[in-house]
Structure 1
Amino acid sequence: MNLIEAARSFVHIFFPHCCAGCGDDILSHEQLLCLSCMGRLPLTNFHHYADNPIQHIFRGRLPLIHATSYVYFTKDSLLQHLMHQFKYNNRQQIGSWFGRRIGEALTASPGFTMPDALIPVPLFAARERKRGYNQAHILCTGMAESMGIPIWNNIVIRATSTATQTHKNRIQRWQNMEGRFHLQDAAAIRGRHLLLVDDVITTGATLEACGQALLSAGNVQLSIATMGFASR
């Protein structure tokens, strides 16, 4: 064992780096999940298929170039556990890790057309201040690292707060989101292909409302990617 390896072992004794899924402490600092938890992630592989369930959600609602989600989101699952840590326990490294995985998957997909920029779905300003970050933006930081494209913030803003979407049906969710997003800089995105990013998609109401605000600029191509897909 060389001095660097010995130093790392010493540090690990007092500051163990644990798996974000199961708590196992055998990980290096470059890893987020152990091999067992990695194998438990239910990957969708939607990025390999043009006619996938995410495309179906938005058919007739938004004209999309690509649409995908990285993993299936189900109740009491590993992903729900990770998502809760990411959104509510300040574990931002979970979001950036998933962002890198999403970006790597999209970049390696032969049918994927690289966008000009990433657009994180914005939070209402007061909610972002309370949380300290926008989870969609954290995902974008990892994706930008893998894809080599910029993140464009403040192109669209969430002008007002919204009631929780939990327990609402698709129509109620759309009514809850309608008119909540305002386009700030239409000129900056005309003629561009944008990848709109959020954490989880259920009915697609939030992404639809935000996507329509972006498309209102005119001559915009739109794609969508999320970390999780909560199928019903």
Structure 2
Amino acid sequence: MTDGDPYGRAIRDHYLGEREEPLIDRDGEEIREHAIEEWYFGEHNKDAWRDSWLEGPLLDMGAGVGRDTLYYQEQFEAVAIEVSEYLVETMRDRGVKDARQVDMFSLRNHFNRDQFQSAQAIGTQVGLAGSIAGVRQFLNDLAFVTTADATALLDNYAPEKEATKDIFAYRDDPMPGLAYRVYHEEYAGAVGETLLFQIFSVDRLREATVGTDWEVVDAKYGDVQWRAILRKA
């Protein structure tokens, strides 16, 4: 494992009871302490609306330490992927049956055509596609590894909501329905790479599905975020 992954190492150390420093998110002079216990080690939040759209085999993308996968694998086959080797090791220690080190933006390189019945990416990771064109490419790759009648659950911040402007590392965009987040993470003297998250509205997500096999069939809003269900058209 490498110290080039302060994010994953901090969460791994927390799990092992060896973390003595906070994981810091930094945007210039603005910093935020990453709430590791709260964000990663809580119980799966049961949601009848969400769960009704998911069935196995399920691909859990950006699965963290497996909070959701641990729940779903008791219902059906579930594969958890993370780009961090530290997080994959932690998922395996916590009992995730099938945890793999895979970048969610390189799905075709790791999975077969039609391998999954449903997929989810909870935690706004889809924003790491960096642009609407990047989201469209991701959706095409996701279509390749899912069945003809598959469903997918995605979430992101809602740039059209005024309260969203107060989230950490927010950057406005003059184009309606778009914004950004830009920050990096620091832990125990190590500095992670700069992360660029594209924030986009559900309407922009609908635009991103044009030319893909997906359509947005349902969406729910929170205070600053949305969750959307996509289904093969």
> Please, what TM-score do these two structures have when normalized by structure 1?
0.32
Q: Which has the higher helix share?
A: 1
> Please, what TM-score do these two structures have when normalized by structure 2?
0.32
Of structures 1 and 2, the larger Rg is shown by 1
